[in-house]
Amino acid sequence: MKKRYIAGGIALTLVIGGAVAAYTILPTTHDGSPTELPELARFGDSIGTSVQNIALGTRTVVETSSLVTGNLGEEERTLRVRFWYPSDGAEGKAAEYAHEIIVGGNEAVGVNFAGQAINDAIAKEGKFPLVVMSHGFGGWAEHYSNLGEHIASRGYVVASIDHADERVTSAPSFLTSFSNVLQNRSLDQRQIIAKIISNANSASTGYAAAIDTNKIGLIGYSMGGFGAIRTAGAPYDYSAESLGNLPEAAQQSIKDGTQETAPISALIAIAPWGGTADNRSWNSDALSKITVPSLFIAGNQDDVSDYAGGISWVFDAMKNSKRHMLTYREARHNVVGNAILDPKFPANDDFATTEYMREPVWRTERINAINQHFITAFLDLTLKGDADKASYLNTPTQDSNDSNWEIAFGEQLNGSLAGKDQESHWRGFQRRWVVGLEMQSKNKGE
């Protein structure tokens, strides 16, 4: 039987074998109330949302037989893209983002996330930077709708790509699906960006007309990060095991489609895959070709992308980028994504789905709030030229536990947020409420 779980403050009913259990899951998005949110994680202005199917033309496809013969198939590739954008506050039905998660051979688990964006709301007049989001292997466009909505509420048009990864149900389907992800991620990102720019330049109304095509940021998570690093300018090393095992025709397809420099001005790589020492997708010289400012986000126990030997190595090797890396201590790979808060999700016999959606130590909603805070600061700094936001990223201590805010005996701060006057505390966080984090910052040439 298919299970369904709903997030966003909505009561949920689960029916199994005639028995009914009802419970409530807390919201995964925030309405701007202070609570524990750091400063820039607080929701901004009204937003709208819309979905567009974007045709990318003919693309080569790795089929099961391709892994033996080396011959590729072909298909017309059309991807669904979820847009969020500033609106004028028109009333209407708020979006719900439904998806079915299928991990391995397990049964489908349905999730509905309640959003804050108004479906097809009228776009706000003006020009706003574009932020493109690219999900991980097996993800979907609304996997981190909380982040997309938040960025849009802060004055951006956000385009989240649904890469339509083949669902994995067996070893052969894993090989073909993963091979196509290796081939498609950067190609998808580049073509979607080009299509959005073309649409924006010809549009006179709507969210497309509101896009400032000279200010583009790219966010990639996991395999989305693998593609984003290539899109930002680092050529792949085809001697790496994963890329080297692709049919030569697939390798050539990537090379042909990724030669031109993508017009992005900022890169956010969240737990990017591809840097681990035994399967390294770039060399140091390739990574040094990235010159746009970058923000990395990762868990120091990431055993999928390999924090020490993979993510950190990529971060260090991008020596020609002004860059920051936010690290969650004791976190593994799932450092982004909507939160499923109820402890019953999913059934106990479906632990693979739990592993796909949750972190073992950190609360996902807390991670989301911290991500929103730092990503907002980074995008405002790099795409809007807001120099004041640098102080949020250039933290006074690398280890957040060493952050200090002196107060008088008996003084009550009642959730006050650190500002410029609290020079020894991480800006935008409450006193005592910024722990378990690290922030590294490196200038070009370091």
Residue 205: DSSP 8-state: S
pLDDT (0 to 100) of residue 55: 97
The Cα–Cα gap between 403 and 324 comes to: 18
Q: Which is it for the CA torsion 246, 247, 253, 255, positive or negative?
A: positive
- pLDDT above 70 covers a percentage of the chain that reads 92
- Interior angle at CA 283, CA 281 and CA 288, nearest 5: 120
Query: For the residues 63-68, what does the mean pLDDT come to?
Result: 87
pLDDT at 236 exceeding the cut of 90: yes
Q: How many CA atoms lie within 13 A of 191 on its CB side?
A: 22
Query: For the residues 364-386, what does the mean pLDDT come to?
Result: 97
Higher pLDDT, residue 28 or 106: 106
Model pLDDT for residues 238-247, shown as the tens digit of each residue: 999 999 999 9
The Cα–Cα gap between 394 and 189 comes to: 29
Query: For the residues 154-177, what does the mean pLDDT come to?
Result: 91
pLDDT (0 to 100) of residue 346: 75
The per-residue DSSP string of 227-275 comes to HHHHHTT----TTSHHHHTS-HHHHHHHHHHT-SPP--SEEEEES-SS-
Q: Do you know the residue count of the chain?
A: 446
Model pLDDT for residues 169-225, shown as the tens digit of each residue: 788 888 999 999 999 999 999 999 999 999 999 999 999 999 999 999 999 999 999
Query: For the residues 284-302, what does the mean pLDDT come to?
Result: 98
Per-residue buried b or exposed e for 30-59, using 16+ beta carbons within 10 Å of the residue's own CB: beeeeeebbbbbbbbebbbbbeeebebeeb
Question: What are phi and psi for residue 367, nearest 5 degrees?
Answer: -60, -45
pTM of the model: 0.91
pLDDT band with cut points at 50, 70 and 90 for residue 348:
low
pLDDT band with cut points at 50, 70 and 90 for residue 265:
very high
The Cα–Cα gap between 12 and 352 comes to: 22
Model pLDDT for residues 391-411, shown as the tens digit of each residue: 999 999 999 999 999 999 988
pLDDT (0 to 100) of residue 340: 82
pLDDT (0 to 100) of residue 74: 94
- Interior angle at CA 60, CA 58 and CA 63, nearest 5: 135
Taking all residues of the chain, what is their mean pLDDT, rounded to a whole number?
90
Least confident of 119-133, 156-170, 285-299, 367-381: 156-170
Which burial class, exposed, middle or buried, applies to 26 when counting CB atoms under 10 A from its CB (0-12, 13-18, 19+)? exposed
pLDDT at 146 exceeding the cut of 70: yes
Residue 387: DSSP 8-state: G
Q: How many CA atoms lie within 13 A of 384 on its CB side?
A: 21
pLDDT at 62 exceeding the cut of 60: yes
pLDDT (0 to 100) of residue 83: 98
Model pLDDT for residues 7-36, shown as the tens digit of each residue: 433 333 333 233 333 323 333 343 444 578
pLDDT (0 to 100) of residue 70: 87
